Structure 1
Amino acid sequence: MPEITPLRSDQAAEARRVIYTVAHELFHDEDTLEKTITRYETTWPLKDIADFQHSYLENGGTFLVMCEGERIIGTGALKRLEDGVAEIKRLWLLPEYQGRGLGYQMMLRLLDFARLNGYAKARLETSPKYQPRAFAFYQKMGFVEIPRYGDDPDDVGMELDL
């Protein structure tokens, strides 16, 4: 069974690569994976991961990685959105590991962290159009739709009472 641990500084680049790899498949990118990663590093640099200490740990949150041996196969993060509300971020799992309950295990760890740290609600944003499996997963976890709170018009907000 893969192990879930806090992200270390020396793992940040690999965590970004996992996210880019999943996005490459999710969005059916026609470029090679390497070209996609190069493009994403410019257009979608995931600066929050490079500075995860400030973005997550110093903001009432955590950043976790799921590893099989030394290889990162998934990510999940949480940060303070507002008083009493945590935001779930960066929940990504390599395609070959999906459908095994591993995303569920990561989400449980994030929600446990939120509860232990006094959050009353967890929120996230996702796109039912581009990420229908993720949307269905969040609904199965008990999240309900709320008005979108971010900038992406394709996203919907979702919330779970903790």
Structure 2
Amino acid sequence: MSKNNMLIREIQQQDNPKIAAAIREVLLEFGVPKIGTTYADEALDIMTETYSGDRKKFFVIASGNNIYGGAGISQLDNYDGNVCELQKMYFKPEARGIGLGSEMMEKCLDFAKSTGFEKCYLETMPYMDNARKLYRKVGFTSIDEPMGDTGHYQCSVWMIKDL
């Protein structure tokens, strides 16, 4: 599949089951634990509803009726400060290595800036090397402990970026 066949757009109601399936597929591919990670999030099955409202947005990678991944921005849960979180950024193999990660990061971070967030936080797994390379490329730096309380206690890599 080529990048020319794929579009990054805001999530739509009919995308809910497709993005949930895509994210779970990627998590299983990487051997991510099912508990204490995005895999167990109730929000995964109702992404349109989860990302409705002010200062929240979720984007998907679509080609025709197929969804190949996505990412979202929302206020960091259980944190008192003007910090958003880059959430649920996972791509199926067909969407990797063709520049969509950089485009998705730009779209998400532009949205975060436009809504007035001062910093963007993320959590990931230590063995997701390509994701961490992308995060560092756009200016995320590692921090020593988690911020807020996302419920993702299995994630052991925490990063932050000034917006």
Does residue 111 (structure 1) correspond to residue 115 (structure 2)? The answer is no
The 5 Å alignment of 1:38-117 reads 44-58=39-53, 60-81=55-76, 82=79, 83-117=81-115
Q: As a proportion of its length, which structure holds more helix?
A: 1
**8 A contact 1:125–1:148 mirrored in 2:** no
Q: How many angstroms does 1:53 deviate by?
A: 4.6
Aligned length, in residue pairs: 150
2:122 paired residue number: 124
Q: Provide the C-alpha distance between the structure 1 equivalents of 2:65 and 2:102, rounded to a whole number of angstroms.
A: 21
User: Which of 11, 16, 29 does residue 12 from structure 1 map onto?
Assistant: 16
Unmatched runs of 5 consecutive residues or more in structure 2: none
Q: How many angstroms does 1:52 deviate by?
A: 2.9
Q: Which moved more, 1:43-52 or 1:132-141?
A: 43-52
State the secondary structure of the residue aligned to 1:44: helix
Q: Provide the C-alpha distance between the structure 2 equivalents of 1:53 and 1:12, rounded to a whole number of angstroms.
A: 7
Task: State the TM-score, normalizing by the size of structure 1.
Answer: 0.81
Paired amino acid for 1:48: A
Percent of aligned positions with the same letter in both sequences? 29
Please tell me the root mean square deviation across aligned C-alpha atoms, in Å.
2.4
Task: State the TM-score, normalizing by the size of structure 2.
Answer: 0.81
Q: How many angstroms does 1:21 deviate by?
A: 1.6
Q: Provide the C-alpha distance between the structure 1 equivalents of 2:113 and 2:47, rounded to a whole number of angstroms.
A: 21
Unmatched runs of 5 consecutive residues or more in structure 1: 30-38
Paired amino acid for 1:147: D
